Homo-oligomer: A and B are copies of this chain.
Amino acid sequence: MALVKKPVNGMKDILPAEMQIRDYVQTVIKDTYRSFGFTPIETPCMESIVNLTNKQGGENEKLIFKVLKRGEKLNLETAQTEADLVDFGMRYDLTVPLARYYSSHANELPSPFKALQIGSVWRADRPQRGRYRQFMQCDIDILGEPSNLAEIELILATTTTLGKLGFRRFEIRINERRILKAMAAYSGFSEEDYDTVFVILDKMDKIGMDGVREELAQAGFPEALIQKYTALFEGAAKAADGISYLADVLGGYLEAETVTNMKEIAASVNSCKTAEFELVFDPTLVRGMSYYTGTIFEIAMPEFGGSCGGGGRYDKMIGNFTGKDVAACGFSIGFERIILLLLESGFQVPKQPEKTAYLIEKGYPGEKLAEVIAKAQEARQNGQQVLVVRMNKNKKFQKEQLKKEGYEDFVEFFNR
């Protein structure tokens, strides 16, 4: 069969110009997160299929690339269902693998454990602008820290990184699962309907408050509940301080500790932030993953419709592996969207090494080549980037091309 020149459908080759930006962004991310005491770790790209399909991953579980069993384990004739054919799957995020990692190695890790992961994840999604089926995620997580010190450090580390990459005037939207629940309870929704209500609320960005109202009605909820519910959001939006407003109105439905927690996060982040951004309380923020248990947050960039990353607290996930809950909170940067924004803004990587190209004329004697290369070796030792290439017939064109790659100095070696 003929070989295929294109990358597999929905995944992409990365060309040198983009790669340079990706490498630079990764370096900034790593250096900044390290300064906050986060430690890089890595997990395999494949996970046991049971870990990926236990209903923690929401919609992502429908998008798993599954890996065929091998050798004797694979029996096509007796296989009845997909499950008989598959043992591993490609990870769809870095959070499930981290929970597995921690449950396996907790004794060898410090407590609290501040993890940094940069790695590819896979989702068999319909490809669209800026969304690929293999993409990079950058996650930081703090495991074993129940207090809001975790949220504060995660938000500061992430925003400091974004600031160093030149992003300004973005927002960090923050909410709390317990506020979401209190608002639903106060309005009269019963607990088994929360998920349905939140899925609809999550569409706010796209369909607006009127759309949410309509969909709630279509889902069969009584008009009185819907009125009471949407009035809460309108009230919070109008109030100078949305959290205090909701604390007043919701009364016993919302624990005082949740309110204090949110206020402390806001106070610390606002007084310690180094980047130009706004921390905004957004009671409509839901975030899809069902594993969140407390605070949730999201990065909103004015240049980009939709989120450029997010995270939250998921205190119950590690317990699924070990039977014993461990406090956990994480923040993930939407690496691919950040790269897309930088590419579109014409971003240039700062501080390049000096780049020189040596052009060697055709027929240059083999025994003299060593001298040219020795000279290149010396310059490289001194921190320069030196490219040694054969001189083309059309030398002018060759130099123009090399200039596009950033080579500014040329040294020519002629055959005479």
**Which A positions have Cβ atoms within 8 angstroms of B?**
1-8, 11-16, 19-20, 22-23, 30, 34-37, 39-48, 50-51, 54, 65-68, 70-71, 74, 76, 79, 81-82, 85-88, 90, 100-101, 103-105, 108-110, 112, 114, 120, 124, 134, 145, 147-149, 152-153, 156, 160, 260, 264, 267-268, 271-272, 274, 320-322, 353, 355, 357, 360, 366-367, 369-370, 373-374, 377, 380-381, 383-390, 401-402, 405
Chain B nearest CB from A21 CB (Å) reads 11
| Complex CA distance for A120 and B401, rounded to whole angstroms | 31
User: Contact check: which of B13, B43, B114 meets A41 at CB < 8 Å?
Assistant: B13
A8 engages B110 (CB within 8 Å): no
- The list of the 7 closest CB pairs from A to B, nearest first, reads A37-B387, A11-B44, A14-B42, A4-B48, A35-B380, A264-B366, A268-B370
Residues on the B chain within 8 Å of A20, using CB? 39-40
Residues on the B chain within 8 Å of A374, using CB? 271-272
Residues on the B chain within 8 Å of A54, using CB? 1, 3
Interface SS, A side:
mixed
Residues on the B chain within 8 Å of A41, using CB? 13-16, 19
A82 engages B105 (CB within 8 Å): no
Of the candidates A4, A13, A377, the one having the most CB atoms from chain B within 10 angstroms of its own CB is A13
| Complex CA distance for A30 and B79, rounded to whole angstroms | 46
Residues on the B chain within 8 Å of A79, using CB? 76
User: Contact check: which of B39, B100, B360 meets A3 at CB < 8 Å?
Assistant: B100
A19-B41, A85-B85, A100-B3 known; A46+B370 contact, CB < 8 A:
no
| Complex CA distance for A304 and B139, rounded to whole angstroms | 36
Residues on the B chain within 8 Å of A36, using CB? 380, 385-387
Residues on the B chain within 8 Å of A401, using CB? 110
- Residue of B at shortest CB range from A270? B370
B23 engages A30 (CB within 8 Å): yes
B46 engages A3 (CB within 8 Å): no
B19 engages A272 (CB within 8 Å): no
A44 engages B388 (CB within 8 Å): no
| Complex CA distance for A105 and B100, rounded to whole angstroms | 39
| Complex CA distance for A148 and B40, rounded to whole angstroms | 40
